[in-house]
Copies of this chain bind each other. A is one copy, B any other.
Amino acid sequence: VLIKELIEKKRDGLELTFDEIHFIVDGVTRQTIPDYQISAWLMASLCSGMTEAETAALTEHMLNSGRRLKRCTDRLRVDKHSTGGLGDKTSLILAPLLACLELDVPMLSGRGLGITGGTLDKMEAYPGYRCDLSEAEIESQLRKIGCVITGTTANVAPADKRLYAIRDVTGTVPSVGLITGSIMSKKLAESLDALVLDVKWGSGAFMKSIIEARELESSLVRTGRRMGVITTSLLTDMNQPLGRMVGNACEANEAVDIMKGSGPADAVEVTLALGAELLLSTNRESCPEKARQAIASLLQNGQALHRYQEMIEAQSGRFSEVLPIERSTVVESKNSGWVVSLDGARLGNIVIAMGGGRRSQQDAVNPGVGLEMLVRIGDRVENGQPLLHLFFDGAQPEIDALRDLAREAVGIGPSQKPGPALIVESA
């Protein structure tokens, strides 16, 4: 087989076979196909689309390009994956919480890409926290604590590492098939029994429309099930940040609030819904209401928080209930009316501009930077009323400009618009 012929076949809209996709993924992993042919195939795949069989084959070969984590206990093994959104700190809560229910949670996570923060960056807000656990360390920690939040090891889906680096610079990220392969190859490498997906849509999410989000959701769920993992999903709203806090330390603190039984209602609700989904899909509970109560009680009684602290300390992090945050400045409304929209992309870019996220992979992140939303869609605001706080490094020269940008991110209209549905549907 010649890679050129496979590029041409995909370019012409034909379906590649299981073996042909193996040839490509193998060439990606063993570096026998040069970058320029990989990028041409990626663009042809994006433009022509990928079938369900192609997506499944891509996922399977990417998974097999590396090793899977070993099953090291008799407990059921589960995970939650979110497609990413502003202020989404649910993973920090669910990993220790599910471990309290005698489920193993081998959560291999990533760093922030674009406007949505990365779970690893949030965990690293705890000084000393290690995200580079070896396979042996992951196994040992799962045996002892039942949960881990760490980076993918070098052995997990090496094909994805090279493919993603090329996709990132060639405009070939937003393909449902390629996204599915990238996400699911890494999740399947965790050797899971069950996975729940949180697919987000809206201005602060990767998928800006509900139609695109549904397409991705369907692809992810079908691929997971095809590979023998119990896979369910929720389609959730990301037209406004989840919770009040955006930024690494800010979000870690808010996660702790939730694990102390308080915290904002929307973030609590998504946490309950995703956790309950896993208890139902694994038959640990049969009644949705009981499943939610099981999750909620672990937030109320402090057990999730206790396990969270154990996990952080096992990974060499120094836990504190409240991490330090940078100084704050308030952004006030310049008119009166109703909040009708929040521009998530703009809010995310403001956090990046303040040093709380990455423009390129080498950038250092300041964990104390972030923002706090004081209003939500549907709220009434008056002229001069605070809309949000920015937490910024005092040396930030552009803070006035960023405050203006933040103000513009809050759309204010003459009449009330209901807030979007938080949980749209489940699959």
Contact = CB atoms under 8 A, between A and B. Distances in A.
Contact of A39 (B39, B46, B47, B48): B39
A164 to B, nearest CB: 13
A35 interface: yes
Interface string A42-77: 111011100000000000000000000000000000
Nearest to A170: B40
B36 A169 contact: yes
B166 A36 contact: yes
Contacts of A169: 4, 36-37
Given A43-B44, A43-B47, A47-B44, A36 B170 contact: yes
Contacts of A4: 169-171
A40 B43 contact: yes
A7 interface: yes
B36 A171 contact: no
Most buried by B among A35, A36, A42, A48: A36
Contacts of A47: 11, 43-44, 47-48
Contacts of A11: 43, 46-47, 171-172
Interface residues of A, number: 22
Interface in A144-166: 166
A43 B7 CA distance: 10
B46 A170 contact: no
A172 B44 CA distance: 10
Contact of A36 (B8, B39, B48): B39
A412 interface: no
Contacts of A42: 40
A48 B171 CA distance: 14
A40 B171 contact: yes
A216 interface: no
A171 B47 CA distance: 14
Nearest to A38: B36
A357 to B, nearest CB: 18
A20 to B, nearest CB: 14
Nearest to A5: B171
B44 A7 contact: no
A389 to B, nearest CB: 32
Given A43-B40, A47-B48, A171 B7 contact: yes
Contacts of A34: 35-36
B40 A8 contact: no
Nearest to A43: B43
Given A7-B43, A8-B171, A37-B170, 14 more contacts: A7-B170, A11-B43, A35-B35, A36-B36, A36-B39, A36-B166, A36-B169, A36-B170, A37-B39, A39-B39, A39-B43, A43-B47, A47-B47, A47-B48
* Pairs of residues from A and B, 8 with the lowest C-beta to C-beta distance, nearest first: A47-B47, A40-B170, A43-B43, A7-B171, A35-B36, A8-B171, A36-B39, A39-B40
